[in-house]
């Protein structure tokens, strides 16, 4: 619960994960795993996100969540990243489960 409050609560300021939820400042993350960058219908992505062309997986999320602006230069994601591997692993596990 403490991890959830520290990490996911920060994410849910800009993102939703449930299927029928609307986009916020960031896109809805439902169906994230297996989707290409910049492809969630109805969200205005940066050209950088659209052009990155990778498919989201636990592995690509690990690199991205370390430093989003380094992985996708030009992204409008303001999140600075998670430096601790355990924090990234916990967040990725949450995303894999909650965005199905």
> Does the structure show a pLDDT above 90 at 9?
no
Q: How do residues 14-70 score in pLDDT, each as one tens digit? A: 999 999 899 999 999 999 999 999 999 999 999 999 999 999 999 999 999 999 999
Residue 76 confidence (pLDDT): 93
pTM over cut 0.85:
yes
Three-state SS string over 19-83 comes to CCCCCCCCCCCCCCCCCECCCCCCCCCCHHHHHHCCECCHHHHHHHHHCHHHHCCCCCCCCCCCC
């Amino acid at each position: 619960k403490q991890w959830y409050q520290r990490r996911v609560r920060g994410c849910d300021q800009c993102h939703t994960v449930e299927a029928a939820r609307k986009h916020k400042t960031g896109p809805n993350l439902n169906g994230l795993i297996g989707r290409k960058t910049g492809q969630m219908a109805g969200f205005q992505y940066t050209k950088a996100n659209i052009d990155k062309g990778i498919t989201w997986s636990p592995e690509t999320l690990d690199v991205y969540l370390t430093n989003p602006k380094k992985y996708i230069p030009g992204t409008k994601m303001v999140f600075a990243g998670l430096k601790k591997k355990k924090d990234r692993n916990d967040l990725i596990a949450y995303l894999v489960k909650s965005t199905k």
